[in-house]
Each structure stands twice: as structure tokens, then as C-alpha cells.
Amino acid sequence: MTVRHVRFAIAFAALAGMLAACASVPANPNSDVHGADVERSIDAQISPLLRVGLDDAVVKPSRCPERIDLTLHPKQFCELPIEDSRIPITVRASSTMLFAVGLEGTVFRMRRLAGFAANDIAAEYGIRTQVDCGRGLRLLTVGTHVRCTVAGTRAGYAELEFRGRNRILVRPLAGMGRGRLAEAVRPYLLRHAAHRSTVVPGTVIAPYIVLQIRNQFGGKAAWLRPLHGARCPDRADLSGAKRMTCRLQYGDGLPRYAAWIDDAEGVRMEPVDAIMLTAMARTSVLESLKAKLAALGRKELAAVDCGPDRILVQQPGSTFHCRAYAGREQADVTVTVVGTEGDMAFTFAPLQQSS
């Protein structure tokens, strides 16, 4: 039983804490909050991130009560309509601002969750099957269980558990025993749990990394076609907290992944390098540009050019450049890679008239 890591859900700073609202009114414990102010903060801060992270989902204006009293009830909710779903947005009292807004969980598109489960079942049991986890979007919190129907198996369903930080546990299918990946790694998990020397062949770990990357970018299948597998050391000592570093093999990129054994969750892994899609960067920068223009009351046509669609293997802290256009003006945009999970920060140069 191993927890898989996914990246097809939208996750950002608000998942670990609350996004501070851009309210210019100083905190006042004796006042309540205008719902319209909260709606503006949600629409400016959270909606663009969800729109990008959920593959250009149709995000509608948020809805809040006309007034929100955070003195007696320091935690209240608005809703954000996304396509046919309504996602709860938390509104909290803040010691530094009038209020703070955020998500208490991770938003998943359920058909992508089904695709993840189908990939997992194929890798473990060698079965290509249809999985149905429901429709629309859903906000999952840590410990949430999801039952998905699985066609053509004795079990008939799969149990998934959200473990937080984009980690999903797919439990073994009822009546079908352990899958082949789980069976191959089991002797090493037992040795590790007994605090014995745990030297693991790279061929045991490599399939886990390939499965993870397919799930991580499941909606971007076109660029996965040249994925040839993962190259790991012949053998590596994973005793205690020791790690093995492997490289994905596709195209000209060789991004590194670190893998280790966790007694509670099995094989764990995380990227050492960030895998960036310029198409995702372009969409993210464009959403940020539109928000900046809207805040200035400008309605010009906006566009962003980050060059041809390609895969970038970047180290955290590295940068690349895009070009932003607003009407007859343009500006250089520096995109900084934040961490190893594909997050980005943008720095816009001043807009200048095109020559």
C-alpha cells in the first residue's frame, strides 16, 4: 500500500494557510465585513489560480452574504461557482488585515481523479478499465474517502483516501490481493519497518516514479508520449531516511526524482527539479496580467508570449522570460520557479509603448 503523489489538483499557498485579502481597511475587531469586499478579494486572488490549475475551468463570480460578522463567528463561508459545482471559500478574521480568504482543502476534478485511479489499477493489476468517481469538482480535505466504481473487476469499486499535500492512497481492490508493484516492494518495506538494512533495486522504484509523473500531468498527455521510463541506480541503500535519486527519461529532459521508504505510507517520492510547461506559464501570466489591468480599470486586449510550447526542466529559483502585451504596450515578465512542484512567481517590468 503506497500513497501516490498527484499534481492535477490545484494547490497553492492558501491550502496550507489563508491567503491574506488585499483589503486596505485596517483590522477592527468591532466591525463586520462587506460581502462585496470579500467577493472582490476571492475573484482577484483565488479564481485565477483555480482557473489555471483546473485546466481553464469556467469560474464564475463568487457569492457572499451581504455582510459578514467576524466578531462573533471568526470563520465563515462564501461560495465560488465553478462550472456546475459550488466550492466553499473560507473567510476568517485576520490580525493584520480586515479579513483573509482561502481554501480548506484541495479542489479536484473528479474525472481526473478517476483517471488517476485507472492508471494505478493498470500499473498494479495489469487491467485497463473504466473508473467513475463522479462528476464535477470537489473540495477534498485530509482524510476524505472517495469510492469510485471500477468496471470489469470482482471488486466493483476502489477506495481512495486524500492524505493532503496532493497525496492519494488507492487501497488494494477487494478480493484481488496486492498489486504487482506492491508485491515487489513489500519485502523491502518489511525490512525497513524492522529497522534492518534495506538495499532496494532501482527496478522496484522506477515504476512508481513513472506512474507518479503520468498522474501528475495526466491532462497534458501529448507531451508524455516520449516518456521512456525512469533510470534509477542498480541498487541503493534506503535504510532509515536515506534516499535514492532517479531520472525520468523523455525527450531531452532528465528531471530528477528522489525516492525513499516511509513506514506509514510505503514508497515516497518528490521531484528534485521542477518540470515546467510553457503553456501553463503562459496561461498563468495572462491571468495575472488581466487582474492587474482590471485593478487599474483598463480593458485593453491582453496577450502573453512565452515562446513555443515545450517542457522545461528547471531548478528551484531559476528563471525564464515571457512577453506581456496590453493594447499597444508590452512588458518583459520574469517567471521564477518556486519549489519543485511547478509553482511560479511573476515579476512584471513596466508596460511601455511598442516601437
**Model confidence pLDDT, tens digit, residues 316-339:** 888 889 999 988 888 899 988 887
Residue 244 is classified by DSSP as E
- List CB contacts of 132: < 8 A, sequence separation 6 or more: 114, 148, 149, 151
Q: Which residues contact 74 (CB under 8 A, 6 or more apart)?
A: 92, 93
Average pLDDT of the chain?
79
Greatest mean pLDDT among 140-149, 185-194, 297-306: 185-194
Does 28 have pLDDT greater than 70?
Answer: no
pLDDT at 177 over 70: yes
User: Which whole number is the average pLDDT over 81-106?
Assistant: 85
Q: What percent of the chain shows pLDDT beyond 70? A: 83
Higher pLDDT, 48 or 146: 146
Model confidence at 134: pLDDT above 50: yes
pLDDT digits (tens, 9 = 90+) for 273-316: 877 777 778 888 888 888 788 878 888 888 899 888 777 778 88
Say whether pLDDT at 23 is over 60.
no
**In the structure, what pLDDT confidence band is assigned to residue 218 with cuts at 50, 70 and 90?**
low
Q: How many residues does the chain have?
A: 355
For 2, 56, 213, 297, 300, the CA distances from 326, given in Å and listed in that order, are 48, 21, 36, 13, 6
Query: What pLDDT does 318 receive?
Result: 86
Give, as one character, the DSSP assignment of residue 27. Answer: P
Main-chain phi, psi angles of 202, to 5 degrees: -60, -30
How confident is residue 266, by pLDDT bands cut at 50, 70 and 90?
A: confident
String of DSSP letters for 123-141: HHH-----EE--SSEEEE-
Residue 92 has pLDDT above 70, yes or no: yes
Q: Is the pLDDT of residue 221 over 50?
A: no
Question: Quick check: 2 pLDDT over 80?
Answer: no
The pLDDT value given to residue 96: 65
234-270: b (≥16 Cβ within 10 Å) or e? eebebbeeebbebbbbbeebebebebbbeeeebbbbe
pLDDT of residue 269: 84
Section 145-168 average pLDDT: 81
Quick check: 198 pLDDT over 50?
yes
> What digits encode the pLDDT tens for the residues 252-265?
567 788 999 998 88
Interval 59-91: pLDDT, tens = 899 999 998 888 878 888 999 999 888 999 999
Mean pLDDT of 209-231: 64
Give the per-residue pLDDT at 181.
86
User: What is the pLDDT, as a whole number, of residue 124?
Assistant: 84
More confident residue, 219 or 348: 348
Looking at the predicted structure, is the pLDDT value of residue 245 above 60?
Answer: yes
